[in-house]
Amino acid sequence: MQTKITLPESSIPDHWYNVVADMPNQPLPYIGPEGQPITPDAMQAIFPPSIIEQEMSGERWIEIPEPVREALKLWRPSPLYRAHRLEQAIGTPARIYYKNESVSPAGSHKPNTAVAQAYYNREAGISHLATETGAGQWGCALSLAGQMFGLQVHIYMVKISYDQKPARRSMMQAWGGEVHSSPSNLTECGRKILDKDPNCSGSLGIAISEAVEEAAGKEDTNYALGSVLNHVLLHQTVIGQEAKAQLALVDEYPDVIFAPCGGGSNFGGIAFPFFADKAAGKEVQLVAVEPTSCPTLTKGTYAWDWGDSAGLTPIMKMYTLGHDFVPPGIHAGGLRYHGASALVSQLYHEGLIDAVSIPQTETFEAGLLFARTEGIIPAPESTHALAAMIREAKSCKESGEQKTLLFNLSGHGHFDLSAYDRFISGELRDEEYSSEAIAASLQNLPNVAFEE
Amino acid sequence: MQTKITLPESSIPDHWYNVVADMPNQPLPYIGPEGQPITPDAMQAIFPPSIIEQEMSGERWIEIPEPVREALKLWRPSPLYRAHRLEQAIGTPARIYYKNESVSPAGSHKPNTAVAQAYYNREAGISHLATETGAGQWGCALSLAGQMFGLQVHIYMVKISYDQKPARRSMMQAWGGEVHSSPSNLTECGRKILDKDPNCSGSLGIAISEAVEEAAGKEDTNYALGSVLNHVLLHQTVIGQEAKAQLALVDEYPDVIFAPCGGGSNFGGIAFPFFADKAAGKEVQLVAVEPTSCPTLTKGTYAWDWGDSAGLTPIMKMYTLGHDFVPPGIHAGGLRYHGASALVSQLYHEGLIDAVSIPQTETFEAGLLFARTEGIIPAPESTHALAAMIREAKSCKESGEQKTLLFNLSGHGHFDLSAYDRFISGELRDEEYSSEAIAASLQNLPNVAFEE
């Protein structure tokens, strides 16, 4: 009985897949502070030329540079698993597969783009990268990548995580990263916030503002983002390409694909290469899964908004809860983001992909079932996709349908065990978002006169 | 440039290799409380028949049951890596390979034997397993295996680790394990120790005594050990067999193999399958690496001694620091054991394998270099093998020798990041053992009249 489908190193994709080429409508531009579409030139303060080109490219295939493929070899191709034990536990006739992205040294899919971004910045003569991190997955990935390509990485880590997750912080430091608690007094926007509230526990939006401010102000420093932007999703498409090749080895093609969706890079990474087939007429359902407490796609508005709190980033047309919205403190820190990738947002708006939201306790119940059947303890972000997939597997049990289901195990939960502890002991609760808070936050969207 | 050498699932070995068949002298028996060799019958109170048979077997190849191979598929075959980046950093002409056992769900090589022991116990109608754990690697592995084969696992966890490593404890609980701080008041020997010293921080020797007492006293409960015994080393030989096959794929054969050595299962696992070649005349050096602070092989005595503190286990002829010896509190908890496998001890005594000891700071320096070149953050146990290997690689640099070096990366350091933190901040010190303590402890060896 085959459990793991592995590929040799030579099967690491040599191109990234750009979903823009197959979208029925071209994506809208990003908008700058004056309300005009942002030009490539305007982005050069914080990004290297190759990244800007990728961000705006309509080419279907973009070649992966050889040094990036070499770096990816440390953990790619990642294995695809058939979840026999989980199927048995559910009693479903569905065939369940999962792509295991937890095998990277940083423990998640994030290094896939981190090594590419580090490479392009080094090629552009940049010596420092500034970034933000919430739960720490992205900060770890970029520290690792910076180390591999000889760049110094500065990480603004959301204060509450900085205090609560010392292991993630140590991990970044082990890879040579320099970690600051955010809001910090190293940036103007950090100081402003601390002036108002010295005990501010921080947010992803604030940390982004700090990192962008540092990058914009220093010649030798660029900014690196771990999700949301087109080039980040592009770099993650190695996941879906490999998964497709692995499924083909066992004569399978998925009926439904599930991935957690915060900024959107994990979802885009596995789903977009299958979207190419869908655009060509093939039937496949692509489901983005988010927390009910931060329901960007399922309860947000499709509108122009900033990617950060301070309004330093470009304005994007996306699903948003408003850039002021502070999501409840669920354990899936990577899904606590007010917005979503413009590409994912547009595809969802056009009805080409699906979205579903899941409450926290259901995700941990799914995570525990997975740990006790498949062995791996999943990250709280991953358990969202898992829980949605289990719903589908149960519905197959009722209907008798033998669907092929695929989900993306975006990372392991080795640094989230206290959350499992709380769930096992019955302390963990579902967190409710406040409709009033979202409504209030949506009052503060920027005015954009751009004609679509 | 090839980095990872992977094997398909079908290449998981179908037999374990028993080194006893190739040892020039047969191993000595275990001795019971009356000074007589222990019979298989006497072991039935705590082990199932198949395990006892394996413990005493002289057969070269022992078949791996199909359900065990199925379980191993969750992470095996583990990848073998060529450490290009590490070689470059050292500037050595040596070719460095490592077997990555950190890919198991529990994060170390320990599940290789845990699934086999759980399987045989279930087959024997046992419903509960009792065991001990120090740093938590073995307790995690057995909890996982118990879950996979439907057994309830009771773990006596050394108190100091129970208090300091809540994540490891949560991991065991996530897999359904029941964890007790040791010494506990659940056993007679635990209560005795607590009576004397209510604040006793515990030791591996004490925890073993507690688990053995529970297993011996309950009909439905057996005992499972994570290292030292012959059958445990046997189950780990999948590592060396796979490594040999993987090296053959790139036309390599190791000149020197390094593995950390506490009880000996990690060393035996990778080294024994190569010992088979050595016994047949091939040249290969096998190096067991231990901490200078717990130098069982390099400073201990080859003598009869108990495996635990309370004297509940059989007496074995082995290298020992005395069963009363409490090693300094180094971070490599898995190497803090007073004794060593009888098989490893005998091979060392006969000059067929080598041993070296390394101070703590050198191991962390090696671990950090590895993290910053190869990406993976190694467990403190693994860094011992790594540090010894780096010494050899540096000596190759001086001599110009192009040796092929192989070391066993026994586990990842995700739960040891505070130790890396201490090393990076300069707080970590080398720990010295006390010669007086060892000398005193060696006064308390049992008297064994058995004629060798």
Give the C-alpha separation, B100 to B97, whole Å.
10
pLDDT tens for residues A415-428?
999 999 999 999 99
Closest CA to B224 of B410, B15, B48: B48
> SS3 letters for chain B?
CCCEECCCHHHCCCEEECHHHHCCCCCCCCECCCCCECCHHHHCCCCCHHHHHHHHCCCCEEECCHHHHHHHCCCCCCCEEECHHHHHHHCCCCEEEEEEHHHCCCCECCHHHHHHHHHHHHHCCCCEEEEEECCCHHHHHHHHHHHHHCCEEEEEEEHHHHHHCHHHHHHHHHCCCEEEEECCCCCHHHHHHHHHCCCCCCCHHHHHHHHHHHHHHCCCEEECCCCCCHHHHHHCCHHHHHHHHHHHHCCCCCCEEEEECCCCHHHHHHHHHHHHHHHCCCCCEEEEEEECCCCHHHHCEEEEEECCCCCCCCEEEEEECCCCCCCCCCCCHHHCCCCCCHHHHHHHHCCCCEEEEECHHHHHHHHHHHHHHHCCCECHHHHHHHHHHHHHHHHHHHHCCCCEEEEEECEECCCCHHHHHHHHCCCCCCCCCCHHHHHHHHCCCCCCCCCC
SS3 A427: coil
Give the C-alpha separation, A135 to A171, whole Å.
12
CA-nearest residue of chain B to A8? B6
Q: Which pLDDT score, from 0 to 100, does residue B432 have?
A: 83
Task: Mark yes or no for CB contact B166/A374 under 8 Å.
Answer: no
Token output for B388: 């010894």
Q: Which pLDDT score, from 0 to 100, does residue A204 have?
A: 85
**CB of A1 within 8 Å of any CB in chain B?**
yes
Residues of chain B with pLDDT below 70 are none
**CB of A174 within 8 Å of any CB in chain B?**
yes
Tell me, yes or no, whether B325 lies in a domain: yes
Classify strands B61-63 and B15-17 as parallel, antiparallel or unpaired. antiparallel
What amino acid occupies position A156? Y
Task: Mark yes or no for CB contact A74/B374 under 8 Å.
Answer: yes
pLDDT tens for residues A96-106?
999 999 999 99
pLDDT tens for residues B100-114?
999 999 999 999 999
Task: Mark yes or no for CB contact B421/A173 under 8 Å.
Answer: yes
Strands across the sheet containing A178-182: A178-182, A152-158, A128-133, A221-223
Give the C-alpha separation, B267 to B252, whole Å.
20
- Closest Cα of chain B to A160: distance in Å? 19
Closest CA to A259 of A152, A432, A411: A411
CATH code: domain of residue A413: 3.40.50.1100
What amino acid occupies position A11? S
B166-174 helix and B137-149 helix, angle to the nearest 10 degrees: 10
SS3 A389: helix
Q: Which pLDDT score, from 0 to 100, does residue A71 have?
A: 97
Tell me, yes or no, whether A317 lies in a domain: yes
Half-sphere exposure of A57 (CA within 13 A, CB side): 22
Task: Mark yes or no for CB contact A417/B167 under 8 Å.
Answer: yes
Q: Identify whether the C-beta of residue A135 lies closer than 8 Å to the C-beta of residue A327.
A: no
**CB of A103 within 8 Å of any CB in chain B?**
yes
Alpha helices in A354-416 (DSSP H): 360-374, 380-399
**Nearest Cβ partner for B414 among A144, A376, A414:** A414
DSSP character for A50?
H
Distances (CA, A) of B27 to B30, B56, B307: 9, 9, 17
Interface test with A, best of B2, B5, B6 (most A CBs within 10 A): B6
Chain B residues in contact with A417 (beta carbon < 8 A)? 166-167, 170-171, 174
Give the C-alpha separation, A289 to A267, whole Å.
8
Task: Mark yes or no for CB contact B75/A8 under 8 Å.
Answer: no
pLDDT of residue A15 exceeding 90: yes
Closest CA to A372 of A103, A83, A173: A83
Task: Mark yes or no for CB contact A73/B166 under 8 Å.
Answer: no
pLDDT of residue A452 exceeding 80: no
Closest CA to B105 of B47, B175, B57: B175
pLDDT tens for residues A290-322?
999 999 999 999 999 999 888 889 999 999 999
Q: How many CB pairs under 8 A join A and B?
A: 115
In terms of Cβ atoms closer than 10 Å to its own Cβ (0-12, 13-18, 19+), residue A449 is exposed
Q: How many CB atoms lie within 10 A of CB A282?
A: 11
Q: What value does the CA radius of gyration of chain A take, rounded to a whole number of Å? A: 20
**CB of B9 within 8 Å of any CB in chain A?**
yes
Q: Which pLDDT score, from 0 to 100, does residue B62 have?
A: 98
- Computed over every residue of chain A, the mean pLDDT equals 95
Token output for B317: 């002829």
- Closest Cα of chain B to A83: distance in Å? 10
Chain B residues in contact with A414 (beta carbon < 8 A)? 107, 167, 171, 414-415
Task: Mark yes or no for CB contact B144/A375 under 8 Å.
Answer: yes
Task: Mark yes or no for CB contact B414/A8 under 8 Å.
Answer: no
Token output for B64: 């791996």
Residue B88: partners with Cβ closer than 8 Å, 6 or more residues away:
B373
Longest dimension (CA), chain A: 62
Q: Identify whether the C-beta of residue B335 lies closer than 8 Å to the C-beta of residue B342.
A: no
- How many structural domains comprise chain B? 1
Tell me, yes or no, whether A377 lies in a domain: yes
H/E segment holding residue A157:
strand A152-158
Containing structural domain, residue A336: 66-107+231-442
Q: Identify whether the C-beta of residue B172 lies closer than 8 Å to the C-beta of residue B149.
A: no
Chain B residues in contact with A375 (beta carbon < 8 A)? 74-75, 104-106, 144, 148
Chain B residues in contact with A89 (beta carbon < 8 A)? none
Task: Mark yes or no for CB contact A417/B105 under 8 Å.
Answer: no
Chain B residues in contact with A424 (beta carbon < 8 A)? 170, 173-174
- Closest Cα of chain B to A298: distance in Å? 31
SS3 A155: strand
Closest CA to A88 of A360, A374, A303, A328: A374
Tell me, yes or no, whether B370 lies in a domain: yes
**CB of B85 within 8 Å of any CB in chain A?**
yes
Longest dimension (CA), chain B: 62
Chain B residues in contact with A174 (beta carbon < 8 A)? 368, 371-372, 377, 417, 420, 424
The pTM (predicted TM-score) of the whole model is 0.96
- Closest Cα of chain A to B194: distance in Å? 28
Tell me, yes or no, whether A138 lies in a domain: no
**CB of A150 within 8 Å of any CB in chain B?**
no
pLDDT of residue A33 exceeding 80: yes
Q: How many CB atoms lie within 10 A of CB B439?
A: 13
Half-sphere exposure of A257 (CA within 13 A, CB side): 28
Tell me, yes or no, whether B51 lies in a domain: no
Interface test with B, best of A6, A137, A169, A178 (most B CBs within 10 A): A6
Residue A15 pairs with which residues in a beta bridge? A63
CA-nearest residue of chain B to A105? B376
Tell me, yes or no, whether A93 lies in a domain: yes
Task: Mark yes or no for CB contact B375/A2 under 8 Å.
Answer: no
**Nearest Cβ partner for A420 among B4, B107, B170:** B170
**Nearest Cβ partner for A420 among B174, B374, B424:** B174
**Nearest Cβ partner for B371 among A3, A166, A175:** A175
Q: Which pLDDT score, from 0 to 100, does residue A410 have?
A: 96
Tell me, yes or no, whether A75 lies in a domain: yes
Q: Which pLDDT score, from 0 to 100, does residue A320 have?
A: 97
Give the C-alpha separation, A285 to A405, whole Å.
10
Chain B residues in contact with A166 (beta carbon < 8 A)? 417-418, 421
Chain A residues in contact with B89 (beta carbon < 8 A)? none
Task: Mark yes or no for CB contact A371/B175 under 8 Å.
Answer: yes
Task: Give the range among A1-5, A85-89, A147-151, B402-406 with minimum mean pLDDT.
Answer: A1-5
Token output for B149: 């084969």
Token output for B90: 């050292």
Residue A147: partners with Cβ closer than 8 Å, 6 or more residues away:
A153, A175, A176, B372
Chain B residues in contact with A368 (beta carbon < 8 A)? 174
Interface test with B, best of A4, A11, A165 (most B CBs within 10 A): A4
ipTM of the complex: 0.95
Chain B residues in contact with A85 (beta carbon < 8 A)? 148
**CB of B150 within 8 Å of any CB in chain A?**
no
Q: Which pLDDT score, from 0 to 100, does residue A420 have?
A: 96
SS3 A407: strand
